[in-house]
Amino acid sequence: MRFASCTAQNNRDSDDACAASLHHLLKGQLMNILLIVILAMLTENFVLMKFLGICPFLGVSRRVSTALGMSMAVLFVMLVASVITYAVQRYLLTPLDLQYLQTIAFILVIAATVQLTEMAIQKLSPTLYQGLGIYLPLITTNCAVLGLAILNIQREYSLFEVIFYAAGAALGFGIALLLLAGLREKMETASVPQAFKGPAIALITAGILSLAFQGFSGLVPVN
């Protein structure tokens, strides 16, 4: 009886230890994912901190509605392109020793993803398609999307981390775009000096936003 009691006690202790270890592991993973999202969204904001994707940032930020549509399109492209480029790098380029084709391969993946996105938006929302204009197909050459794919490989993120880093980067892009679009709509009714109207005040506003985001520097350590 004493032996059976000791065995049962040991089993309970073992189960408790396993549960505590699993809880600690999950907590660590969740914290790591949270830090990756904050890193991509704020600390390393691709537009305001890395200065990537400036073309659509300035070109599609005249209206909040258009900026929102572009943000959703970039979110889809970044997520899909990041996952596919991760698979291409890991299962095609690296095993075949074709790393020198990385940029070309990634651009082809991004171009195909953008083409699918463009076809979907044209079918589902012709008004938004007209509003985005030339800037929608230009996502193909958006250095933010290509930079994201390359950073995923350089930092050796897992597939799970790639997905959340891409989501954080896209959310950061959307935040920056919507902030600038909202400010530009407000400035249309403001008394802006004639010399600063148009692109000039947009660039000044973008610069102030960038300075504001500098405050997030150091929030998450960069490996």
pLDDT means over runs of 10, the chain (223 residues):
49 57 63 89 92 86 86 89 94 92 92 87 82 76 89 92 94 94 87 83 91 83 62
Please state, as a whole number, how many other Cβ atoms lie within 10 Å of the Cβ of residue 218: 9
CA angle, 107 as apex, 91 and 110 as ends, to 5°? 85
pLDDT of 3 reads 45
What is the reported pTM? 0.81
Average pLDDT over the chain, rounded to whole? 84
pLDDT of 108 reads 92
pLDDT of 8 reads 47
pLDDT of 56 reads 83
Phi–psi pair at 85, nearest 5 degrees: -65, -35
